[in-house]
Amino acid sequence: MNIFIHHVGKDGANRDFPKSIENQVPSQKTKLYKSTFRNGLKNIGDETNIWGVPAGAKPIFDQLNEGDWIFLIGSLNKIPDTQTWESKIRFAFQIVDYTIGIEEQAFDLSKSIWGEPRFPLVVVGQVFPIDLQYSRLLRYIGYKPNFFPSGLFFRVNESRMAMTPEELMEEILSESCVMDKDDLVSQRTTKFVLRAIRAASFRNRVLNVLGKQCAACNFSTLREPSLSSGIEVAHIVPVEYGGQDTIENGIPLCRLHHWAFDNGLITFRVDHERLKTVVHPTRGMYLGQRDWALQQFEASTISLPGDKQYLKILERNLNEHNSIYRWDLS
């Protein structure tokens, strides 16, 4: 996930926010130009939010992807007797689809939405109303309080941030999202997005610690980068039993072995600083034989961090998991 900021300015915000940010655009209006979008606008509803940036921003625009976020900033006001700026940020935009290249149709789309063809780099998605001070956003992203974006569209440098982009968006939406108490659809949408952000954050944190390979079969996305989504992260203590999204409660697994772990066919034990696979002796039998896809990985291992506190909590979570699924490892 990436985070972008677009400093629109007072005039641009007053002119264009009401057209496609404060209000949604009928999807039939954008689908006339679906061939210019990466995913052909397959994942949008009857109405959508839409935003565009000038052609000169293409090198930055080419870095964005589905699921990324843009903070839209209107006017920035200089605080008297200081070198700092302040403003209330009202909108966070999550990208669902975006244009590829700069074709004539993209200029036509810009003209149909905003009345002029100056914004051919277009994103569609979901706007989340927020109440966030510009100075607070700068603290979140690790930029100095006197930073002035000067009309720029830019990608936030993740190395400056004290947390992951997923953690940052979860915190901002949890604290700053403005939801109409009577708008049940918006409330459900926001809760769904927060769950998705938490899941992505949990996955990334566990993979960063244990590596991008299945703990059971050692399938690795390093060997097959195009299959990066093939490595999932299983909760050791299930969420319904109070399991938390912590690195000590996660194990990287391929889809098959995630299913096997969640259904009690395999488990794991800590052996010094290794995580060892254990296949259940009787579950998953077929014609009197244990499933080959499980049996062949009995006792396979991956390395664990040497941190004693991590190992202690990991082992405690595994014991709780094994109790829930009625494992006897004695």
CA distances from 306 to 102, 209, 210, 270, 281 (A): 51, 11, 11, 12, 30
State how far the Cα of 176 lies from the Cα of 189, in Å rounded to an integer.
Answer: 15
- Taking only the tens place, the pLDDT of each residue in 22-75 is 999 998 888 889 899 988 988 888 889 999 999 999 999 999 998 899 999 998
State how far the Cα of 163 lies from the Cα of 197, in Å rounded to an integer.
Answer: 13
- Taking only the tens place, the pLDDT of each residue in 117-140 is 999 999 999 888 888 999 999 999
What local confidence, expressed as pLDDT, does residue 315 receive? 94
Asked whether 270 and 318 are in contact (CB, 8 A), the reply is: yes
State how far the Cα of 282 lies from the Cα of 290, in Å rounded to an integer.
Answer: 7
What local confidence, expressed as pLDDT, does residue 320 receive? 96
Average pLDDT over residues 177-193: 60
Beta strands in the chain (DSSP E): 3-7, 25-26, 47-53, 69-73, 77-78, 85-86, 88-98, 121-133, 153-155, 231-235, 250-254, 266-271, 274-279, 285-286, 289-290, 301-303
Mean pLDDT of the chain: 85
Domains in the chain (CATH in brackets) are 3-162 (3.10.400), 212-324 (no CATH)
Q: Give the confidence band of 163 by pLDDT, cuts at 50, 70, 90.
A: confident
Average pLDDT over residues 296-313: 85
Average pLDDT over residues 261-279: 91
State how far the Cα of 61 lies from the Cα of 235, in Å rounded to an integer.
Answer: 35
Interacting residues of 303 by C-beta distance below 8 A, sequence separation 6+: 273, 274, 275
What local confidence, expressed as pLDDT, does residue 223 receive? 46
What local confidence, expressed as pLDDT, does residue 286 receive? 55
CA distances from 316 to 161, 300, 302, 310, 323 (A): 32, 21, 18, 10, 11
What local confidence, expressed as pLDDT, does residue 328 receive? 86
The pTM of the full predicted model, rounded to 2 decimals, is 0.66
Q: Give the confidence band of 295 by pLDDT, cuts at 50, 70, 90.
A: low
Asked whether the predicted pLDDT for residue 249 surpasses 90, the reply is yes
What local confidence, expressed as pLDDT, does residue 189 receive? 60
Average pLDDT over residues 268-286: 83
DSSP, collapsed to helix, strand or coil, labels residue 163 as coil
pLDDT top residue among 178 and 34: 34
Structure tokens of 34? 């679906």
